[in-house]
Structure 1
Amino acid sequence: MKQNKALRTLLVCLLCLPILVKGQPPRGPLAPPPKINADKTVTFTYIAPNAKDVKLSGQFLTGGPSAMTKNAQGFWTVTVGPVKPDIYPYNFVVDGINVMDPANEYFFPNERFKGSLLDVPADEPLVHALKDVPHGSVTYEYYPGVQNTTGSLVVYTPPGYDKNKNTKYPVFYLISGTTDTEEAFFKVGKVNLILDNLIAEGKAKPMIIVMPNGNIEARVADQKGGLKPADPAGRESEEAVTRAKNFAGDLVGNVIPYIEKNYRTLTGANNRAIGGFSRGGGETLRTALGNMDKFAYVCTYSAYLSPAEMEKEYKDVAGKPQVTNQKFKLFWVSVGTEDFLYKSTVEFLDYLKAHNVNYKSLITGGGHTWMNVKTYVAATTPLLFK
């Protein structure tokens, strides 16, 4: 009886198989991911038989998007370069519409358009390359945040954290830019690999890195059924300042207590650093200058505060430089000469210098890019917690 029942079950499954197979969508031709050639040129392919115009857009290009050529099978291709080794966002422009590369699994985490990522390796591995060294761990965390919402974090713990159960570590709070998510410093900035490599070389102290999302208002709206608010009209607008202060309140009041409760951390200002890129850099400055008892290391990448805001909100920073210099063991400002915030950032540096506030700076070429951010992270992390 049991044998007959098993045979009937098998027969039913075989009869249903054609229906299941028929229900699957047909699988068409697949385009290859970007091919990095020996001479560092890169070949891109996109399938769009019915498209009239396809271009390649990427931060490795000069002079705007590159036109792609279509063959009889509907494959569009272009070879560009040679491309300087680094990690770059890119996308295709199909009849005027920006699209990701469906053949590439690596993408830029963003609240809006999520471009694809091109990683061109160097002959000698770059500081963000995956090397044969001890590696730390990356964990996704959720914490109780403002207005009864749940905030999200990405947390890097250094090599040996899970084994050295009695060891405590300093913490670097690292904030990404406008529209970037908490994953950006991990997936685009490769901060975990940068720290793995620097720690292995003895150039940086083992540390925990906490990467929060800088857009508190979007989280509140999303979790309370509202619409994501538009970005502030300007970086110095009243709304931008208010949002930055809201972030500071969440970081100091919720994120830091959560991390210090759930991770083996060294506490106190001397064991905390804060840094950020673009909007995250503005949030870094407003958080640090508004809470000078909480952080001894401040790193801002492609960001500034205007002299007017400094005089209005943080007058004692410049008014009492001896106190400022005593509290901040590192006050770092970086920017690229082609960055649209370059002029304002230099004005900020001039203000600090005129008021005898100690700082270190790194002015590079290039613009408001994550290529520069990786350079700044690699330059600043060896200076932390010394």
Structure 2
Amino acid sequence: MTNPLTVRFWLAWLLVGLSNLVLAQPPRGPLVVSPQVNADKSVTFRYLAPQANEVKLSAQFEKAPVAMTKDAQGIWSVTVGPVKPDIYPYSFQADGVTVMDPANVAFFPNERFKASLVDVPGDTPLIHALRDVPHGSINYEYYPSIEGTTGSLVVYTPPGYDQSPSKKYPVYYLISGTTDTEETFFKVGKTNLILDNLIAEGKAKPMIIVMPYGNMAARVAEQKGGAKPADPTVRDGADAVKRANDFTTDLVSNVIPYVEKNYRAIPGRENRAIGGFSRGGGQTLRTAFSNMDKFAWVCAYSSYLSPDEMNRSYPSIVSNPQQTNKQLKLLWVSVGSDDFLYKGTVEFMDYLKAKNVQFKSLVTDGGHTWMNVKTYVAATTPLLFQQ
């Protein structure tokens, strides 16, 4: 028979333990809802910082940081807009320190700056919106890469991929820009949703999209215990070209064989496309022009190669334009009119025209932004693999 004193002792011990556990929990502040997209397309941002002296909102749809106001609970807030429907990065500046929005789980994958994301929906669903259509899948992959390192990929497979085990698909290799990661085309560019919607509308062919990490030097340094090297200061300097060539080697020698072994990819150049944004666009052009036997579809988003580099490194592209035009099913170049790479990109397009190399182009409003990138992806993917 259990001693009642023993039972009371253990109950008391348990209550003391639970009370200590409760006391050990950090205090919880008030519930913060941020961002809040309102019916009129204005957006309310909130940030809990009772000890801060000044907090500002920094958002890509604002020309300058916007001052926020603190309430009695220590929550800073501001309502801005109406905001044009799209997905935008934003952050807070608390006493001069840039911070993400802790109330928001959506963030911008990047090596350097830390930003959250706000999605302002359109009255009519935008091309990147989550719609009631069949959806593809996103997979994370790891593969043996250069210098004994392990590389990482994000891979989109189209709707029906798992249900049709005998069907094979063409592949679009899609590369992010400087400081971006392999997740950026997925989490910011919403490439998977864009393709889901275009495929459902019959505008794009079902395809596999492979999104690699473009910074080989940073990954090698990280995995071998070294310091991450600074980004090249000259876009077509020796360091930038070497890093681009390392990426080319990795993509051609490691990524493509891994994808074609592990996914139902149709081999051959006419079933491979390559594209990229900013640095990824430069990597795209260098990889494609040095491997014309590997890719027939090439898309450069907000990127270019200088005439000097073209003449020096890829003379065959322009010395025999008839052959180039025959080999390339698509050469695409696009840029925003306010993009800091606008001048160089237009010079590249003028160079191609003068050399009689055929290409399609799109010049949009706006700058070097992922809002424009989504536009370019939506414009180019319906053109890919159309025989």
- TM-score interval, normalised by the smaller of the two chains: over 0.9
1:73 is matched with which residue? 73
1:257 is matched with which residue? 257
Letter in 2 for 1:308: D
After TM superposition, the runs of 4+ consecutive aligned structure 1 residues lying more than 6 A away are: 1-4, 6-11
C-alpha separation in 1, matches of 2:333 and 2:100: 33
1:213 is matched with which residue? 213
Letter in 2 for 1:86: D
Residue 247 of structure 1: CA displacement? Answer: 0.3
Residue 13 of structure 1: CA displacement? Answer: 4.4
Once the two structures are superposed, residues 21-67 of structure 1 have per-residue CA deviations (whole angstroms, 9 ceiling, x without a partner) of 222111122321111111111111112222121111111113x1111
**When the two structures are superposed, what TM-score results if normalisation uses the length of structure 1?**
0.97
C-alpha separation in 1, matches of 2:171 and 2:333: 19
2:49 is matched with which residue? 48
User: SS of 1:161's equivalent?
Assistant: coil
Residue 71 of structure 1: CA displacement? Answer: 2.2
Structure 1 gaps of 5+ residues are none
1:16 is matched with which residue? 17
Residue 120 of structure 1: CA displacement? Answer: 0.1
2:26 is matched with which residue? 25
User: SS of 2:108's equivalent?
Assistant: coil
C-alpha separation in 2, matches of 1:129 and 1:228: 36
C-alpha separation in 1, matches of 2:22 and 2:70: 32
| Aligned ranges 1:193-342 → 2 under 5 Å | 193-342=193-342
C-alpha separation in 1, matches of 2:225 and 2:160: 42
C-alpha separation in 2, matches of 1:97 and 1:21: 32
Letter in 2 for 1:316: S
C-alpha separation in 1, matches of 2:299 and 2:121: 27
Deviates more, 1:33-42 or 1:302-311: 33-42
C-alpha separation in 2, matches of 1:143 and 1:10: 54
2:149 is matched with which residue? 149
Query: Are 1:139 and 2:106 an aligned pair?
Result: no
C-alpha separation in 2, matches of 1:66 and 1:176: 29
User: SS of 1:30's equivalent?
Assistant: coil
Letter in 2 for 1:333: V
C-alpha separation in 1, matches of 2:296 and 2:12: 72
CA 2–334 in structure 1, closer or farther in 2 if over 3 Å, else same: farther
* Cα RMSD (Å): 1.6
Report sequence identity in percent.
70
User: SS of 2:346's equivalent?
Assistant: helix
Paired residues, number: 384
User: SS of 2:138's equivalent?
Assistant: strand
Structure 2 gaps of 5+ residues are none
C-alpha separation in 1, matches of 2:251 and 2:362: 27
User: SS of 2:107's equivalent?
Assistant: coil
C-alpha separation in 1, matches of 2:300 and 2:11: 65
- Confirm or deny: 8 A CA contact 2:30 2:73 kept in the other structure: no
